[in-house]
């Protein structure tokens, strides 16, 4: 007899084994959070939830839900929220966060490449800050298109590694190196972290999404994050002034997703 193809379950188990099931986002939080970083993460959360625009009774799937922060906000709109997350550590964090907030949100441990839901079973899919962690983003997009209902929407939010801030940061450090300054031992913000499997920017994200979905709206979030000493400068200003500067830049970024710090795409099925 010829060798049999591995079962779907076996393939899924093999794929899961390649993930860091102990991954914990606690490692991402620096000791000092400067105003630009605080603003960026807050606005990324807000714009993502606003883009979902959930209504009562809608089924919303959050792929790579992490601590469930976005899912809880969406659940407050009386939507039926399902969080999908491969790390059992993050699942534990999410359970605690859901319990603390009294939210109605379900959790499933699994990977975005194999969504354990029926075809055309959800109204909206959200994937924030997770697509560049997956082993196979194209397969994730295929799964998103598969589970969405005909009039469904997908909201993808991801860090832009070709943002204006990162480009300027790389340029400043290039000149410093030419002038003889030693490179720092720590990873620079514009360098792709070890736990990322892909480096996305506005163009590459649109190209990936367009294989299965049509972009309905593209928005940018925040501007100039990553410029050396920018956060330290803002921290020295009165909080209301630094917030006014960041908000003004965010208004500009909204219309320039290719230069913004985070790209948010709202998509529909083709």
Q: What is the DSSP string of the chain?
A: -PPPPPPHHHHHHHHHHTS-TT--GGGG--SS--HHHHHHHHHHHHHHHHHH---TT-EEEEET-TTSHHHHHHHTTT-EEEEEES-HHHHHHHHHHHHHHT--EEEEE--TTS--S-TT-EEEEEEES-GGGSS-HHHHHHHHHHHEEEEEEEEEEEE-TT-HHHHHHHHHHHHHHHTTPPPPSSPPTTSPPTT-S----HHHHHHHHTTTEEEEEEEEE-S-TTSTTHHHHHHHS-HHHHHHHHHHHHHHHTT-TTTSSEEEEEEEE-
HEC assignment per residue over 127-148: EECCHHHCCCHHHHHHHHHHHE
Quote the pLDDT of residue 11.
Answer: 36
Give buried/exposed letters for 244-260 (b at 16+ CB in 10 A, else e): ebbeebbeebbeebebb
Backbone angles phi, psi at 258, to 5 degrees: -65, -25
Specify the pTM: 0.89
Quote the pLDDT of residue 244.
Answer: 98
Quote the pLDDT of residue 20.
Answer: 62
Quote the pLDDT of residue 193.
Answer: 86
Quote the pLDDT of residue 30.
Answer: 64
CATH architecture label of 8-22+42-269: 3-Layer(aba) Sandwich (3.40)
Radius of gyration over every alpha carbon of the chain, rounded to an integer in angstroms: 20
**Averaged pLDDT, groups of 10, the chain, 270 residues long:** 35 46 66 91 97 96 96 96 95 96 94 96 97 95 97 97 97 90 83 89 96 96 95 97 98 98 97
């Amino acid at each position: 007899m010829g060798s049999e193809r591995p079962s779907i379950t076996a393939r899924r188990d093999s794929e899961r084994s390649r993930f860091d099931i102990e991954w914990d986002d606690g490692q991402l939080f620096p000791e000092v959070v400067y105003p630009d970083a605080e603003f960026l993460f807050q606005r990324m959360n807000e714009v993502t939830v606003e883009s979902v625009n959930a209504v009562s009774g809608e089924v919303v799937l959050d792929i790579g839900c992490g601590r469930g922060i976005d899912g809880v906000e969406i659940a407050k709109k009386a939507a039926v929220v399902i969080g999908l997350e491969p790390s059992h550590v993050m699942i534990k964090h999410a359970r605690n966060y859901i319990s603390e907030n009294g939210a109605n949100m379900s959790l499933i441990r699994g990977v975005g490449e194999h969504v354990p839901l029926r075809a055309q079973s959800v109204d909206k899919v959200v994937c924030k800050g997770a697509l560049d962690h997956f082993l196979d983003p194209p397969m994730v997009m295929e799964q998103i298109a598969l589970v969405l209902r005909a009039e469904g929407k997908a909201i993808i939010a991801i860090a832009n590694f070709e943002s204006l801030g990162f480009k300027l940061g790389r340029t400043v450090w290039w000149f410093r190196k030419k002038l003889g300054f030693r490179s720092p031992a720590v990873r620079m913000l514009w360098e792709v972290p070890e736990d990322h499997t892909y480096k996305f920017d506005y163009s590459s994200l649109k190209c990936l999404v367009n294989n299965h979905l049509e972009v309905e709206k593209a928005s940018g979030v925040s501007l100039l994050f990553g410029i050396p000493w920018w956060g330290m400068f803002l921290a020295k200003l009165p909080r209301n002034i630094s917030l006014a500067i960041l908000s003004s830049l965010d208004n500009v970024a909204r219309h320039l997703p290719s230069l913004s710090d985070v790209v948010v795409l709202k998509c529909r099925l083709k």
